[in-house]
Each structure stands twice: as structure tokens, then as C-alpha cells.
Amino acid sequence: MSAKKGTAKSLTRREFLKGMAAAGAVSVTAASAVGTTLASKPTRSITPVLMRQETRVVEMWMWETEDQWRNVEAMSGLNERFPDVEFRWTSLPYADLHQKAVASLAAGIPEGLPSLFRTHNPFYRPLVNTGSIRDVTDQIASYESDVLGSVWLEGTIDGRHYHVPDDTSVLLMGYRTDIFEVAGLPTDPAEVAELLATYDDYITVGQTIKDATGASMTNMTAGATMFSNFIGQNTTGLFDEEGNVIFDSDAHIEAATMAKKLWDSDLTLDVGQYTPQLFQAFKDGQIATYFYPNFYDFVLLDNAPETVGQWRVTKLPKLNDASKRARVDPGLGLVIPSILPEEQQQLALEVALHLKLTEQGTVAHMKTFPGAFVSYIPGLEAMHDEPSPVLNEQFTFREFLGALADEQPYPRLVTSAFESDASAAINDAMFLILTENAPIAETLTNAANSIRQLQDSRGIK
């Protein structure tokens, strides 16, 4: 596929860093990094671990396949950088990995632990609270201007960092050009962005598509998924920077109200995220739009390859005039158990820095997982001209990086140890709102108060 003339947006490094620093403007350290260039940065070096004759082992737990990470290993230069190291990639189901990580680290027993865990940030605060993951603040400080501003802020707890920043997730509106064409609608991204300027417009267009093609506008289940999509455009999520509960605010009430309006429109298909039913609906042309994260390129390649070339992305509709037309989700990080021997920790740190804070390491990851969006800006810039294997005449990294710089979305903060409890509470609340017409403000307040009481009873945010 080739880039469509006039639609690809090229960002200079100065413009991009400026945009990303603005996204994390609430962080003094992130703001101070604006304008720093790669040329002006001091040369960084990592103190090498003393080489031994015997083979050393670095094991990482992750939820993707071993074959995929073997490919990352081969392309990333790990074997050249660490010729005496054996890498072991242990794949565990997502939920099992995080449960084992938190439980094992809380127990403080090093036996059986890997050198690295690849973790999702909803579990970041609980992992930090175990007291058993390494503080890497000093080792990653010099990389700050090379990391997306919102990601840097997301990884900051009381001014410290406990993981090496990994992938992040940016969402735009994905739409099926074939379905839009049959409905007599424009397919150019700029025209679609204008057509879907607000969520009221989105519902109106959804009715046009339903009447013309029979396709639903999107998928939606009776829970908090759509609410989460909306709140990310106007807020930092369920908590503020200090870990205070905020999901009964006016902005959250507005998001829940729009989610209820969409639910009642009869324009959505009741199938869940990442389910076989969803991918079959894509194959059958039953869904016209999707809240499309950058990494969905490789999800569709694996699960609905029949739709390759039928998707484009554009900016999200607005809830109100202040809404950001892009949003981010919690990212990932590589954490190192601090209860392992120091030499093992140091080696794990060197490996994590090579994988996530070098161009070769991050490009290897993005080429293995098409559309994956690392946090390391030089790696992202190196992928600028990489065509999307899924999107129709669009370049994933150009589109999503451009939206980040233009919209400067709120970071999705995971600042409370009770993120999982809050997610469950808001999911239950939205189920009542959507299916039983529960009063929106009161139901959100009751859910929010349950988490505040939990925080107070434990004496922690």
C-alpha cells in the first residue's frame, strides 16, 4: 500500500516533542524537558556487568508467544549486546501473570521469579506497593525527553519510577471504508472527521449506515467499555494525579449520559471486546466503526485478516467543545524484582534498557507486533514511513503520532492501588445505568464512594 497524497502528516522532532511535553504538562519534570534535543544530551552509558565464562540467564514473563519474542530477540541486537546470556521468554495468560507477579513479590520470596516481568499499568501501583520491585529512577532519568510525555507521567509515583517504559496505547476512530461507501458517505479521513464531529453526529450517521447497509455503528456491551472510551477524552480516567477518586465528576456524568444514549439508540451490536464473535462481525461487515487502538493492526492481522485494506482511522468525535479527539490507555512497563541478587537485577536492567530505550530494540518490537506503539520517541520516529499492513493508504505511526501532537490527550493515570476495584465498581454502575435505567449521577456517586471508603479503611490511596 502506498501513502495517499496529501493525507500523511510528517512531524519534526521539535514539533513532536513539544506536543508530547504538553500532554504531560502537569509534571514539572516533563515540562522542563521541552526543547531538549538528542544532539545536546550527554552521552549515556550503562555500567556493564562483569563478564563470566558460564552462560547467564535472563527470563521474562509476558503474555505473547515465545516465538514472537524470539523474533524480537533476533532483530533487537540482544544476542550481540549480551553474547553470554541465554534469554528465556515465558508466556503466561495475562491475568495469571499479574496475579502471580503481585502475590510472589508481596511474599518477598525470590525463588522462581523471573528477572523481568512485562506488566500492564493497572497493576503498577499494587506492584509498587509490594516493596519488591526495583526503583529505576536514576537509571532512566536521562531518557526523559526521549519518552512520550504522557507515558512518563503515568509511570511517576511520588516522583519516582519503578519500571522501564514499554508500550502505550492511543485510540482513534477506525471506520470501514467499504461500508461507508455503500452508505453513500465520504471515506477521506478529514471528511469523516468533520462528518463525525460530535457523538450526536456519530449516532445520526449510525442511523444512516443502519438504514443503508444493516450494519451496526459499533459494538457495545452492558458495562463500562464505552464509558471508558468517552472519559479518556476529557479526564485522566478514574483517578487524579494524587489517587483521588473522580469518576462521579460532571465530566464522568456527561460520559455516562452519552454512553446511555448510544446504548438506547439500537445502533450497536452486543458483542464483547477481543471475542471470536467480534472478529466474525468484522468479517461479515456487521460493524462500521471501532474505537481503534494503534496495536489493532496486528490484532486484525491475527483475527480478521479478511478485512485488511478496508479500514481507515480518523479523529474521535467530541463530547463537548473541550474534548480531545484522541485518547490514551494505560501503558506497559518492564519491572525488575528487587529481591533478586544485585548482579541479576543489574543484568535485567541492562536488558530492559536495550529492549525499550534503544532504537534497535524498539523497532524490533514494532516490526514483530505491527502497530505496537513503544514509548521511546526515536523508535517511533524510525517507523514513520512504515506502511500499515491493515489501514487503507495510511501509515499507522504517522496517523497516531500526528493525533497525539495535535490533540495532546490527557494521560490515563493509574495512581491508586484500587484501580481494579474501581474498574469493577464502575462496570457494575454502568450495567445498572444501561440496563435498568438507574439514575446516572447517584449511581456513579455510590460507586465512587465505595472506593473512597476502601481507600480510607486501608489508609492508602
The predicted model gives 84-104 an average pLDDT of 96
146 shares a domain with 88:
yes
Determine the straight-line distance between the first and last CA of the chain, rounded to whole angstroms: 49
Of the CA atoms within 13 Å of residue 209, those in its CB half-sphere come to: 30
Are residue 281 and residue 297 in the same domain, yes or no?
yes
Instruction: Give domain status of residue 408, yes or no.
Output: no
Domain contains 391: no
- What values do phi and psi take at 256, rounded to 5? -65, -35
Q: Is position 387 within any domain? A: no
Do 278 and 357 lie in a common domain?
no
The tens digit of pLDDT for each residue in 276-316 reads 999 999 999 999 999 999 999 999 999 999 999 999 999 99
Is residue 65 assigned to a domain? Answer: yes
End-of-domain residue from the set 345, 374, 403: 374
Beta strands 56-62 and 116-120, pairing class: parallel
Percent of the chain with pLDDT over 90: 82
Amino acid at 338: S
Q: What angle do CA 387, 1, 409 make, to 5 degrees?
A: 40
pLDDT for position 16: 41
- Cα torsion through 437, 439, 443, 444, rounded to 10: 110
How far CA 382 is from CA of 172, 297, 323, 331, 361, in Å, comes to 21, 18, 30, 20, 12
How far does Cα 167 stand from its chain's mean position? Answer: 7
Using CB atoms within 10 Å of the CB of residue 301, give its burial: 0 to 12 exposed, 13 to 18 middle, 19+ buried. middle
Q: Is the pTM of this model over 0.85?
A: no
Supply the pLDDT for residue 206. 98
Mean per-residue pLDDT for 51-71? 87
What pLDDT is attached to residue 72?
A: 98
Listed residues 374, 391, 408: the one ending a domain: 374
Q: Which has more pLDDT, 35 or 444?
A: 444
Examine the domain organization and report whether 123 and 184 are in the same domain: no
Q: Would you say residue 30 has pLDDT above 90?
A: no
DSSP state of 376: B
Residue 47 has pLDDT above 50, yes or no: no
Judge if 102 and 233 occupy the same domain: no
Q: What percent of the chain has pLDDT over 70?
A: 88
**291: part of which helix (H) or strand (E)?**
strand 289-293
Q: Are 275 and 293 in contact (CB under 8 A)?
A: no
Residues 300 and 287: beta-carbon distance below 8 Å: no
In-domain check, residue 243: yes
* 329-384 pLDDT tens trace: 989 999 999 999 999 999 999 999 999 999 999 999 999 998 899 999 999 999 99
- pLDDT at residue 49 in the model: 46
Residue numbers of the domain that contains 450: 170-324+417-458
- Cell, residue 418: 484500587
Q: What is the pLDDT of residue 54?
A: 66
d(CA 149, CA 377): 10
Same domain assignment for residues 453 and 316: yes
Q: Quick one: angle between helices 440-458 and 419-436, nearest 10? A: 160
Q: Is the pLDDT of residue 402 over 80?
A: yes
Higher pLDDT residue, 420 or 286? 286
Looking at the structure, tell me whether residues 159 and 189 fall in a common domain. Answer: no
Pairwise CA distance, residues 326 & 403, whole Å? 6
- Say yes or no: 245 and 120 in one domain: no
C-alpha span between 439 and 257 (Å, rounded):
10
In a domain, 384, yes or no: no
The C-alpha atoms of residue 283 and residue 317 are separated, in whole angstroms, by: 25
Cβ neighbours around 40 below 10 Å, total: 8
Overall domain count for the chain: 2
pLDDT value of position 208: 98
Same domain, 182 and 122: no
Q: Does some domain include residue 390? A: no
Q: Do 249 and 103 belong to one domain?
A: no
* Residue 363, domain CATH: 3.40.190.10
pLDDT of 52: 42
Q: Are residues 126 and 264 in the same domain?
A: no
User: Which three three-digit cell numbers place residue 8?
Assistant: 500523511
CA distance linking residue 236 with residue 142, whole number of Å: 26
pLDDT at 219 over 60: yes
pLDDT, tens digit (0-9, with 9 covering 90-100), for 223-269: 999 999 999 999 999 999 889 999 999 999 999 999 999 999 999 99
User: What average pLDDT is seen over the chain?
Assistant: 89
Residues 41, 149: one domain? yes
Assess if residue 252 is contained within a domain: yes
